[in-house]
Every structure is written in C-alpha cells, then in structure tokens.
Chains A and B, each alone.
Chain A
C-alpha cells in the first residue's frame, strides 16, 4: 500500500506537485494519469525517497521507503528516465542491484527469463531499444519480489505485443495481491489495465476514483436513436441542457436526457423508435475534458508566457 499525504514539491517558484493526497490499495491496478509535466514522475521519485518533498509525506506499507530494512523487497520501481549504466550488460546491472540485498543469482536469471531478455542479457544495456530498456527496468523492479510495484510509463516504447505483455503482467501482479501503481499519459492503455484511477494535472489531484466512476463523473452520456420521424422528435426533445444533433436523416444523438425519458416522450407523441442506444463517452474524452481545464488554468496564470501566445491561447 502506498499512502501519499499532502505531498508538495516546489522547484524555485514552480510547483511540480501541489498538496497531493491519495492511497494506492493492494490487489488492484491503480493508474496514475496526467498529461506530461503533471508531476507524476516527481511524485514517484518522492515515494522512493530519491527526491525530498518540500512538505507532506509519502509512505509505503506504513513507513517511509528509506526506513524499510529491505527496500527492494518492499517496492519495485521502474523510473521513467532510464536508470541503467549504458556500458554495463543487463545481467551485470541486475547482479549489482541484487548484491545490495543479498538476492540470489538464480532470482536474477529468473527475472531475466520473465521479461524475455535471456538472449541479450550479456549485451551492453546502452545498445538496447527503448522497449528492451523498459523490459530491463521491469526486471529490476521485480528483482526483490516486492509486494508493491511502481512503474513509471512502462509501456513507453513497447510494441503492441510488449504492451499486451505488460498489461497481463500488471493484472497478474495485482491478482496475486500486490499493490500495482502505474503511471501513463495514455488513457486508452489505462482503460484496459487499471481498476482505479488517480488523475493529476499541474501537480494537483483532479480525480481519485474507480474507472467506472471516473467515466460517469467526467462525461455526459450520449443516447443514439433512430426513427423515421427524426425532425419531429428533435423538436420534442430539445430544451434546457439538452443537445440534439443529427448524423443522418433518420439518426439523432441526444445529450442531457436519459434513454428512458426519451423513450417515454416518443411513446406519448406516438413516434416509433427503431433504435435507442445509450453510448458512454470514451475514457480518452473524459480525460481530455478533465485535464483540458488544468492546462487552461495554467496558461491563464503563468506570467512568463508572452502576450502574443497568451492571446492565441
């Protein structure tokens, strides 16, 4: 379990993480979402003690990371920027990390096998593709068989097969009861991986809720309907807070009214419906709607932006 409490990080007058509080529970995949520069990586670095918070605190399994007797066995971390010496082979990198905790060579071989790097384990990590580098980072994270796994942008640079593998891996780790905390700026990836979402924008917490709650809270559901008397029905439904748009001559998309209410009104007017489909907005749309605000907010309050750019924004 990861607990973050009123965490704040300031660099000079720039606030990278702003009074952030959340809890990451075991047994599920928690997605940590936000646009680039939202403070995700900084937050993760503070959780493992690489960066010291300006104020607030972060604990893992009840203690600060550095206070654990065997940190790598508590939390396995993949940090976004590569954290590997480019001139060292993958297996020597892992052996050096393993040596700090007395982890056996057989465990090193096991994680190399697990991430599929066996054939290149003796090669310089500097020659690795981005995807292979990510696999090596994941191998490092799993080395101590930790109860908590924290991965920063793990699918970055992976091919579709690799993305699918990470997804299965994360779900598997969560199913084993581990705490899985994974950051991404890709909503589409989180939609199929995460059970719970923590959304940040400009260092502030924007949402902390389950995936389905997130979608409900951040989108107005659209209802698609088909009827031969589309024009008549459009007049009947239009009103305060209701938007009706027509795609084709016999198709309408209604926002602001539930499917049940639409059906009732059509029945009272004697209009036949050939289709009545509630369609949820995609996660991507919900994400854009939410973080779009935080980006605008930033633009309006940042004084460094020249007047011409501000006018354009």
Chain B
C-alpha cells in the first residue's frame, strides 16, 4: 500500500436536508442478495451442493448399471431406480446445511452483524430476508440439479432405468429440492440461534444425522413414535420411493419438516429481538 493510494479527497459538502426512505422488507432482501453474491464461499458451497446432487447421482447410476448383475438377488428384486439416481441428496444437504449456517454465523464471527443491525435496527427483516432468499436460491438451484440427477441417472442405468412418468418419480424429484430448501431454512434459523459456525453446524447435523442414529437405540415402542418425526426422517418421506415401515406419508412428513423449520425460525426471531449484538 503506497501513501498516494490513501490520499483523501477534500470533504464533500453535502446538504443536511437530504432525507430518504429507510429499510423495507424488499430492501433487506436486496441487501442480503448483494451480501450472498459477494462471498466466494457462497458459490463454492453451492457448487459442492450441485456436484453432490447431480454429479454423485450420475456416478452412482453409472456404477450401479455396471455392477447390476453382481448385486444380491434381494437387492435386485427391490431395485429402486428413482431413489438410486437421487442418492446425492445426502451429500447435497451437507453443503446446503453448512452454507445456511455460515450465511449467518459468518456475520457474527466477523462483526458484520453489527453493521447489518445498525442499518436495520428492527432486526427481524434481516431474518426473513436471509431465510427467504436462501430458501428460494436453494430451490432454484437444486431443482435443476435433481432433474439432471434423475434424467441423466436413468439414462446411465440403461435397461434398469425408468422414466419421469413412472409412479412417484416427479414427486421424488421435486421433493428432493423441497427437502433441501427447508433444510436450508432450518440451517439459517440455527445459525441465528447458535451464532457460532462450529456450534451451528454441530447443532444442525446433530439434529439431522446424529439424532436418528441415537433414536435407533430407544425401545422399539418409542422408536415408532419418535423416529418418523425427526426432521431428516420426516422430510425424507417426500423423496423416498420405498419407505421403511413406520415412515410418515410423503406430504405429512414434509409438513412435519416444515414445522421443525418454522419452530426454528420463531425461536430465532425471539432470541434475535432479545439479545445484544
């Protein structure tokens, strides 16, 4: 940095009477869009989600086709061509979840959140904007990715593949994108509640991945009344073609996932209004 670079210009005299409008919900969304777009981590993580969803789906489909005859007879009998091509959803949700948490905790970690809330001191428009924008972005990017995974996957599965007109195929493809969208909202909510990156990611994946595993250790009678309602199990019902016994109906399960996200957002709103920044 040379001294000449920082040589300031004389003070610009500006009239004190300049007054204009302040924050609106729409402006909060535009601001969040500028923020989201201007971080390299956003595009890198989204790319990872796309590669996880589409790339992995294609890869799994190709490998499956090559090894189809060597699969156990039991697996061949219950072969799920749709589920096989959409298998990347588990990887995609890692990327979508991490990015959702980071969009919030990145601001807390760097102190940016103070600038954000100084500009929008009512705070809640920031929460709505971040959650809403991220939900839409996730859906808009993950839906084509799911279609690529499905259509490309079926082609790579060759004679073992199916078509979009197969029963539940369209529901599974849309369901994958809808599931990831709501996981994104849940991630943003957890980001606002926990405020730290490591803790936020741990909380999210504890809820999505660890809790169902712990649930399996419960007595069987409890398992049936608890496990289907955990967010990843409930939401997974929407894109699953051959559900485990006890799984909720597809749209019931998705509704339960939405309730989890809504509870998260309400909790985030409450703590956001109460806590110091």
Contacts and interface: CB of A to CB of B under 8 A. Distances in A.
Interface of A: 45, 48-52, 65-66, 68-73, 77, 79, 81-89, 92-93, 95-97, 99-103, 110, 113-117, 119-120, 129, 131-132, 135, 140, 145, 147, 161-162, 165, 168-169, 172-173, 176-178
Contacts of B115: 83-84, 93, 97, 140
Contacts of B80: none
| Residue from A92, A145, A161 having most chain B Cβ neighbours under 10 A | A145
B6 A132 contact: yes
A173 B13 CA distance: 8
Nearest to B35: A96
Contacts of B8: 114-116, 165, 169
Contacts of A87: 39-41, 106, 110
Interface residues of B, number: 46
Given A84-B110, A116-B7, A120-B1, A65 B19 contact: no
Given A48-B118, A71-B22, A100-B119, A135 B39 contact: no
Nearest to A85: B112
11 contacts: A45-B114, A50-B118, A70-B21, A81-B111, A85-B106, A85-B110, A88-B39, A92-B35, A97-B119, A114-B8, A114-B9
B13 A96 contact: no
A184 B133 CA distance: 40
For the complex of A and B, the 8 pairs showing the least CB-CB separation, nearest first, are: A70-B22, A66-B121, A92-B38, A99-B31, A116-B8, A83-B114, A85-B112, A172-B11
Given A83-B115, A165-B8, 4 more contacts: A81-B111, A95-B38, A100-B31, A168-B11
Contact of B31 (A52, A65, A97, A178): A97
Interface string B14-35: 1010111111000110111111
Contacts of B38: 88-89, 92, 95-96
B25 to A, nearest CB: 11
A86 B110 contact: yes
| Residue from A101, A116, A132 having most chain B Cβ neighbours under 10 A | A101
Nearest to B273: A52
Given A116-B8, A131-B6, A162-B6, A50 B277 contact: yes
Contacts of A168: 11
Contact of A65 (B6, B110, B121): B121
B5 A120 contact: yes
B6 A101 contact: no
B122 interface: yes
A72 B41 contact: no
Contacts of A129: 1
A63 to B, nearest CB: 11
